[in-house]
Structure 1
């Protein structure tokens, strides 16, 4: 009697692995059910493997789209970031020659982001009405002209005015390109295209350093100062790219001449499937309805706060990296004698040239993180891990600088690289938190949160620089904010999974490897059950698995 009881007891333990099947079974019936469940799990895993291995019929079409759309988008973002950040690279001599201190410089930097932030969503709503091709063309030509005018600055008011105008004109570029990519790429294939925009930003930061070094070295040529050559030469490409945008960017998938008729139809159908259940913005009433619907998304507010935190650190480092490096070289980074201007008689080429190191590392790491996130279809942990590493390195910079300027510089480079690498998965994650035309509102709103850091960060840094031990507290605060955002991203991940997954249907945790693991657990459970049951039916159940 005791022996007969033991077999059902073992059988009752096995179903716990098999996703809550009833435990009131015995003998061969239990083993047969276990075997069937295991077989179903194995079949599901095989189906997942087959789906993953099957060729994507859209792949050739998307390769053509990538070749024709992505490079132009990257060029637009590249020159946008060159023109907004060249003030940072010319700052050391620009501030010295014009007599500008930390207050004037940080105010000028922040003014750009005020208009850039406020006009992100209005600019994109106008774009939805007039079309992205004419809108992008106008923006590029306009900011190219403004960018060249920085070479004429002699007073603080002229610097402020030009930064405001540049912010107005650049505000719509990145959100418009987000919309362009959403038009030409299905949601399941948009991670890498979106990530290329972040890579373009990082390439701009990386190449801005050698470009600025070369242009600043032209100091005295033709009677112009180095920073004047910097603004003149770096403003012209935006005008040229504006003309190329009008010529080469199709206004819709239906007019893309690099695709044949069948490819256009298939791509439109795939993209339209992602837009199911959403409506575009045509009349003013539809625009407001779209805005109201998009902002009602519960994830948007949390994403706004999270991106604001990390943007503070990102914008401070972008604005002050050459200045921080200059102060590290001079040994003044952690005391109140830290300066935003070069020393008299110095062309300040070395700190500008060294800025290439953190951003070259950032570009490489960001590309690796972006491909890893797409391959695993997971953005939460990639973003959180990068932010956590960046926060730790930033908080270590002051400690390491006391020991060695080289160690402090290395920690700064690692912090910038890790923080930048969080941008691609964060950008894609925000896009996945909404659907269809809602992205035209949500993405500018989130990007406005990002540029809020460009308003607050430089102003706060300018206020602390000569009062609270140079950049000491700046490093600590930046590190704490990145760490806090990493925690926020993990909390949002828990929230999304608790609510049943992302709006685009993804759960970020269910993949082929998970299916294989479930099937393997089922097989193991069935084998254990069969070992506990000497009857032939149980053995046949295991054989069926």
Structure 2
């Protein structure tokens, strides 16, 4: 062979090896079938760390802006002259705005994506939250609270929907539990911060509660800018994954989406999950739970104030320092915020623990039923505990909060077994709307029940909410209610009772 022919052949071989090298590299990074599970597990762990912290902190800011209202409540009610009923209405009206805009907001997020829409929502509610510092009368406060709820409406449903772009149904329970633990951790972190800001009473001629709204609202606006930069739009653009991992995860999620769409196509109706009695049954259980959770956030500082002043079981009175030294009042309100944070430490642990256990054992029903029963019974005994002393009553309030909040992860991830594809955005928003309706009604109900008497009746109502929700999530045959038909309603009731009491009855 001539020298020039040998050189040409060597060049062709080198070019062929160079062309094949990327394919070889990709093959080296692809998981071997025998190690598929380990590869997937490690990748999902990386997704958790790359995705959840941003949404967790967003949840923190959401609940900072909600909890601020309860921490400011003692001083705010005094300065604006709000009754318990008016305070309950101002607290609950947030969820009216939330319910009104939840589905439209999630339709937008399904079109433009979380990377665009979540920063917009975050900045908007930060501005509105800060504007609460300027209110001088009840009507203006109620209007701002409505618009605050409207701005926040797409936040959690949007994050739930965004999570489905990266995770399968079985991986969502833990993710939701982590995101939603921000609700209770925000109280732990936010309470000392609120206490410090309330002590700014008189600085620049403003009340402490005004500084609370201004500073935390401004921080929320800044976080909206951070979120626009840091949040990954989809697996294919996830900066925290390697190129091979992005391709693999995007392929997996595309297949998962195709499977969900195929399941949905079998029903022949794009909106079939929303017309399902199963979805309504689960949503009403969530409504009852959401009602109690909202009351815990909104009323705990005032319940604690009443317990410490000895008026929990009797005629409500303004605390003595309210009409005396403003600095003394500010210090008293700061102490209430700090003591309230004690309630949320075990609550956060319970949320993470139950969410992890639910995912580990792939079970939701009993993980919801047991905590809700414990919480319901504890609520019923709070009035009796308060007659024995503020400490015993507060301990029962802690047990009530722990049991109620613990079911957040399993309950929020449950609809994903019924909702698929783009309809999941609307379905999750619908689910959240019913929870918001509970949040709208319950604070006002508590305010009316306690406006001229004691808090006892409100504790019984919240206990009843939890027990009713527990019974709803327990009955497994509820998920077959559509298939059994009304003519077999007796058999369905028998099956439910058999599950509850473990015995056969004749109907």
Q: Give the TM-score normalised by the residue count of structure 2.
A: 0.82
CA distance in 1, matches of 2:220, 2:477: 39
Matches within 5 A, 1:215-364: 215-279=197-261, 292-337=271-316, 343-345=322-324, 347-364=332-349
State the partner residue of 2:123: 141
Structure 1 portions without partners, runs of 5+: 1-50, 281-285, 501-545
Q: CA deviation at 1:142?
A: 1.0
Q: CA deviation at 1:290?
A: 7.6
- Comparing 323-332 and 420-429, the one that deviates more: 420-429
Say if 1:61 and 1:263, in contact at 8 Å, map to a contact too: yes
RMSD: 2.5
Q: CA deviation at 1:291?
A: 6.3
The higher radius of gyration belongs to: 1
State the partner residue of 1:370: 355
Q: CA deviation at 1:153?
A: 1.2
Q: 1:295 to 1:221 in 2, by over 3 A?
A: same
Per-residue deviation, residues 309-349 of structure 1 (Å, max 9, x unmatched): 12221111211000000000001111232559973236422
State the partner residue of 2:401: 416
Q: CA deviation at 1:279?
A: 4.6
Q: 1:321 to 1:127 in 2, by over 3 A?
A: same
Q: CA deviation at 1:379?
A: 1.1
Q: CA deviation at 1:499?
A: 7.5
CA distance in 2, matches of 1:465, 1:479: 16
State the partner residue of 1:172: 154
Q: 1:224 to 1:170 in 2, by over 3 A?
A: same
2:133 pairs with one of 145, 151, 154: 151
Matches within 5 A, 1:472-511: 472-492=456-476, 495=479
CA distance in 1, matches of 2:257, 2:277: 19
Query: SS at the partner of 1:355?
Result: helix
CA distance in 1, matches of 2:388, 2:97: 41
Greater RCO (Cα-Cα under 8 Å, separation 6 or more): 1
Q: CA deviation at 1:189?
A: 1.7
- Comparing 248-257 and 381-390, the one that deviates more: 248-257
CA distance in 2, matches of 1:237, 1:341: 33
Per-residue deviation, residues 222-273 of structure 1 (Å, max 9, x unmatched): 3221101111111112211211121111222212232223212221232233
2:72 pairs with one of 90, 94, 119: 90
CA distance in 2, matches of 1:135, 1:408: 43
Structure 2 portions without partners, runs of 5+: 1-32, 325-330, 485-507
Per-residue deviation, residues 338-361 of structure 1 (Å, max 9, x unmatched): 559973236422222110111111
State the partner residue of 1:119: 101
CA distance in 2, matches of 1:291, 1:103: 42
Per-residue deviation, residues 265-312 of structure 1 (Å, max 9, x unmatched): 2212322333235459xxxxx9xx986233123311101111111222
Is the counterpart of residue 453 in structure 1 residue 438 in structure 2? yes
Per-residue deviation, residues 447-502 of structure 1 (Å, max 9, x unmatched): 111111221111111111134x31101001100110111111011466469989xx
State the partner residue of 2:170: 188
Is the counterpart of residue 470 in structure 1 residue 449 in structure 2? no
Greater fraction helix:
2
State the partner residue of 1:389: 374
Q: CA deviation at 1:368?
A: 1.2
Is the counterpart of residue 104 in structure 1 residue 86 in structure 2? yes
CA distance in 2, matches of 1:117, 1:340: 34
Q: CA deviation at 1:433?
A: 3.1
Say if 2:271 and 2:423, in contact at 8 Å, map to a contact too: no
